[in-house]
A and B are shown apart, each in its own frame.
Chain A
């Protein structure tokens, strides 16, 4: 992986092209931000959509050039599939710490570029319809563009610190967009919570970067990974990589909502639905996976960390899926499903199914964005009702939404030939090679996933309408700007799986893993066994059968319960069994964190202020003043005012001094 560097001498235009990718959305952000409220919803939406479209087109062009280099002015001297870095300017340079602002163009960043700008563009189009009636639509689009900008910096950065810029930037945009409707205090709290929990992860990430710098004396991807693969750990031994990767993984758990830092993501559903689709399903939350893929060499060197990642991933997948079973808010179900699917991706990373993990990132982006947008369409039609207990029978009123949503559900449930089937199946296959327990957890989660997703589908689109008369009156299919992205995403969710076909469709058709292979060259060299292991085709077919079976079983269960028997979720105050109650209240994790962390810190804040600051430190300082004053009070009694006393004292003192000094005689 010899990275060439551009700009080569005399190719300024190509650099400009690379700058333009994140710059276009940034310009959209500035334009919409400065002209907020002066532009109509359509114009504002058009500006930001065009900005993202521009980035998308440039990305496509770069991608094409990457595969078939022809135009010398884009990447001079590059051969096909050759990674290179683009130097923009020196950002921070202190002594031996040299951090350039530069881009990494390779298989991984290009595919993420396409994902971010492609799905991002669809969601921008969707937002034009969805946010049309909001008074702050300009602000919305400017934030959305700022998000795309940050995300692009994140995936383009060629060192850990540039990645960190994007990492924090998307966190900020997430904060701004979750709290978009800022009159609502609980929305604002959700936004703040998201930012702060992400910051907890960011601290881990930052400490990881410090350790990387101290170990490799660089934070540049190429240099770090090369040194790591050659076993050059500076002053440390190979054990340091375990610490580095654990710290990086802490960062990933924050951003990608894994145990124990996942609690912000369900709350983040306070934001407008396109935001949930773009940020909290398709792109930002997968940043953690992107980062681990980026640093796959380090993770390969740290098998213990991988073990931790696999366990946390599987645990999160199962844990979030069980919570998803009992949620009644349509977006909350999707949120927990996202957490659960992210758990799958981490499980894949943990068992070294690196390209599989990215495969699931892509398919998940398609079907989860689709389902969020579909949910948005439902919410839009239901006049902002999100509770599934108030829905039902919507398939007649919203046919396009229903069909596309169904595609999404089939995809996530792992029904062939939809996209989720291929990626989830690969994950389970890798898990099976690694550990039967992890596989069993994954399989059971697949069953739960199918169940709760179809529970959502049936409760929303089947049965009788349970909302108010007024809502029923307003029911309507969404405008074309909203249904069009749904259709495109549904097509992607339906056929997206074929980009990495399993063996029985021909080995050479596993396009994605073949394409990504160069990213994992070092890892493969370090641990060939993990990449070489193959189960025989018979077992693989059996596993496929099992996972499809689990999915189908889940769907049947859901059908029997919610369509045949017509079960309805209990209302808010209804009595619940112990387990039901536990799951309904999300295992009381939020309450637990409140009691263990938030309240003690609040209490500490007040306690320190009252008892330490104003009770100990300040009184001590003031005490010096008091002692001085008190001393003065005491001593002033000596001043009697009588001249005789003064004189006597004076003479006596003089005599005493003389006596003491000359007393030796």
Chain B
């Protein structure tokens, strides 16, 4: 296998990636909107991020521009940090409320 990764990626047409990422993103959005469990919402957000990552990688490969892939690393690093902080918050919420239902967290208002 002397094909490098961009060539492997290019074996699938670009439109497929776009449709795939769009679907993935939509699932994420729907999940965020419809679910009340904080952890699932969290995972859906990750889904959206990864949809973007896929898209970035694909475009990067198709246009032979490494910037997109660099961006993916940034997003993954930030997402990892975010997960660490976010999960910690969720754990704290669970300790206090014995639940992770976001609709119970409505005290941050006027």
A-to-B contact residues, CB < 8 Å: 636-637, 639-644, 647-648, 651
Contact residues in A for B29 (Cβ distance below 8 Å): 651
Q: Which of A636, A644, A651 contacts B103 (CB 8 A)?
A: A644
Which residue of the partner chain, among A636, A640, A644, A648, contacts B102 with CB atoms under 8 Å? A644
- Is B105 located at the chain interface by the 8 A CB criterion? yes
Contacts A636-B110, A637-B110 given; does A643 touch B33 at CB 8 Å: no
Q: Establish whether residues A643 and B110, one from each chain, have CB atoms under 8 Å apart when the complex forms.
A: no
**Which residue among A642, A643, A647 has the maximum number of chain B CB atoms within 10 Å of its CB?**
A643
A639 engages B109 (CB within 8 Å): yes
Residue of B nearest to A641 (CB): B109
How many pairs of A and B residues are in contact by the CB < 8 Å rule? Answer: 29
Cβ of B108 within 8 Å of any chain A Cβ, yes or no, is yes
Most central of A637, A644, A647 by chain B CB within 10 Å: A644
Closest to A637 in B: B110
Chain A residues near B105 (CB-CB < 8 A): 641, 643
Kindly supply a per-residue 1/0 record for chain B positions 85-110, scoring 1 wherever the CB is within 8 Å of any chain A CB and 0 otherwise: 00000000000000000110111111
Q: Are A644 and B33 in contact, CB atoms less than 8 angstroms apart?
A: yes
- Structural contact, A642 and B33, CB atoms closer than 8 A: no
Residue on A nearest B29 in the bound complex, by CB? A651
Question: Is B32's CB within 8 Å of the partner chain A?
Answer: yes
Q: Please give, as numbers and ranges, the residues of chain A lying within 8 Å of B103 by CB-CB distance.
A: 642-644
Give the nearest-CB partner of B109 in chain A: A641
What's the Cα separation between A394 and B33 when bound, in Å? 114
Return A647 CB to nearest CB of chain B, in Å: 6
Given contacts A647-B32, A647-B33, A648-B33, 6 further A-B contacts (CB under 8 A): A637-B110, A640-B106, A644-B103, A651-B29, A651-B32, A651-B33
Contacts of A651 in B (CB 8 A): 29, 32-33
Residues of A within 8 A of B108 (CB): 639, 641
**Dominant secondary structure at the A interface:** helix
Q: Output the nearest chain B residue to A644 by Cβ-Cβ distance.
A: B103
Q: Is the CB of A642 within 8 A of B106?
A: yes
Complex interface residues of chain B between 29 and 88 (CB less than 8 A to chain A): 29, 32-33, 36
Residues in B whose Cβ lies below 8 Å from that of A636: 110
A642 to chain B: which residues have CB within 8 Å?
103, 106
By secondary structure, the B interface counts as loop
How far, in angstroms, from A648 to B110 measured CA to CA in the complex? 19
For A648, the chain B residues whose CB sits under 8 A away are: 33
Chain B residues proximal to chain A, CB less than 8 Å: 29, 32-33, 36, 102-103, 105-110
Can you list the 5 inter-chain pairs with the closest CB atoms, starting with the nearest? A641-B109, A641-B106, A636-B110, A643-B102, A639-B109
Q: Which residues of A contact B102 (CB under 8 A)?
A: 643-644
Q: What B residues does A644 contact at CB under 8 A?
A: 33, 36, 102-103
In the complex, the answer to whether B107 meets A641 with C-beta atoms within 8 Å is yes
Query: Which of B33, B103, B110 has most A Cβ within 10 Å?
Result: B110
B90 smallest CB distance to A (angstroms)? 13
Closest beta carbon of chain B to A655's beta carbon, Å: 9
A642 to B29, CA, bound (A): 17
CA–CA, A640 and B110, complex, Å: 7
How close is B37's CB to chain A, nearest CB, in angstroms?
A: 12
A49 to B102, CA, bound (A): 99
Tell me the complex Cα distance, A648–B106, Å: 15
Q: Please, which residue of chain A has its CB at the minimum distance from the CB of B101?
A: A643
Contacts of A640 in B (CB 8 A): 106, 109
Are A643 and B109 in contact, CB atoms less than 8 angstroms apart?
Answer: no
Using Cβ atoms and an 8 Å threshold, which residues of chain A touch B106? 640-643
A665 to chain B, nearest CB (A): 14
Give the docked Cα–Cα distance between A651 and B102 (Å).
17
A642 to B36, CA, bound (A): 11
Q: Are B110 and A639 closer than 8 Å at their CB atoms?
A: yes
Complex Cα distance A643/B103, Å? 6
Instruction: Give the residue name and chain of the B residue nearest to A635 (CB).
Output: B110
Q: Which residue of B lies closest to A645 (CB)?
A: B106
Residues of B within 8 A of A641 (CB): 105-110
Cα separation A131 to B103 with both chains bound (whole Å): 95
Residues in B with CB closer than 8 Å to A637 are: 110
A-B contact pairs, 27 of them (CB 8 A): A636-B110, A637-B110, A639-B108, A639-B109, A639-B110, A640-B106, A640-B109, A641-B105, A641-B106, A641-B107, A641-B108, A641-B109, A641-B110, A642-B103, A642-B106, A643-B102, A643-B103, A643-B105, A644-B33, A644-B102, A644-B103, A647-B32, A647-B33, A648-B33, A651-B29, A651-B32, A651-B33
The distance from the CB of B92 to the nearest CB of chain A, in whole angstroms, is 16
Closest to B102 in A: A643
Alpha-carbon distance A165/B32, docked complex (angstroms): 86
Q: Which residues of the partner chain A approach B110 to less than 8 Å between Cβ atoms? A: 636-637, 639, 641
Could you tell me the distance in whole angstroms from the C-beta of B9 to the nearest C-beta in chain A?
A: 26
Q: Bound state CA distance, A639 and B107, in angstroms?
A: 10
Q: A643 vs B90: C-alpha distance in the bound complex, in angstroms?
A: 14
Please measure, in the bound complex, the distance between the C-alpha atom of A644 and the C-alpha atom of B102, giving whole angstroms. Answer: 8
Closest to B32 in A: A647
- Residues from chain B with Cβ under 8 Å of A647 in the complex: 32-33
Name the distance in Å between B45's Cβ and chain A's nearest Cβ.
10
* B65 CB → nearest A CB, Å: 22
| Residues on the A chain within 8 Å of B36, using CB | 644
Chain A neighbourhood of B32, CB < 8 A: 647, 651
Nearest chain B residue, comparing its CB with the CB of A638: B110
- Rounded to whole angstroms, the CA-CA distance of A642 and B102 in the bound complex is 8
Query: Distance (Å) between the CB of B78 and the closest chain A CB?
Result: 19
* Closest residue on chain B to residue A642 by CB atoms: B106
Q: How many Å lie between the Cα of A329 and that of B107 in the bound state?
A: 86
A636 CA / B110 CA spacing, docked (Å): 6
Q: How far is the CA of A348 from the CA of B106 in the complex (A)?
A: 96
Task: For B33, list chain A residues within 8 Å (CB).
Answer: 644, 647-648, 651
B residues in contact with A639, CB < 8 Å: 108-110
Complex CA gap A651/B109 in Å reads 20
Q: How far is the CA of A642 from the CA of B109 in the complex (A)?
A: 8
* Least Cβ–Cβ distance between A649 and chain B, in angstroms: 11
With both beta carbons as reference points, the residue of chain A lying nearest to B106 in the complex is identified as A641
